[in-house]
Amino acid sequence: TQLLEQSPQFLSIQEGENLTVYCNSSSVFSSLQWYRQEPGEGPVLLVTVVTGGEVKKLKRLTFQFGDARKDSSLHITAAQPGDTGLYLCAGYFGNEKLTFGTGTRLTIIP
């Protein structure tokens, strides 16, 4: 069973600060996705990364896929209250099963 560990589990910071959250696995990902989930809703896709070392940017969010494809990070610059939510990484491990990480619950304080 593949396990995706995310850290930190909880993060609370002031508006305007920068932050990074992490996703790690002992197995190699075929591809990795980041989702954000808001209360009462299902997760919504932010990005998919496939190639080791790949970096993708989505406005103030920067996603990096590790060279060995076993880890990923999400960096948010100048966090805003609208960034509040549960951030989930999810990976395919050479099969069709989309396995989710444990999640990072982010709170941005105005």
User: Interface with other proteins by CB under 8 A: which residues?
Assistant: 30-31, 33, 40-45, 48, 50, 88, 90, 92, 96-103
Torsion of CA 9, 87, 19, 7, to 10 degrees: 30
CB of 96 to other proteins, least distance (A): 5
**Beta carbons of 10 and 85 less than 8 angstroms apart:** no
Q: How far is the CB of 104 from other proteins (least distance, A)?
A: 11
Considering beta carbons, is residue 34 or 76 the nearer one to other proteins?
A: 34
Q: How far is the CB of 61 from other proteins (least distance, A)?
A: 16
> Which residue in 76, 49, 53 sits closest to 66, CA to CA?
53
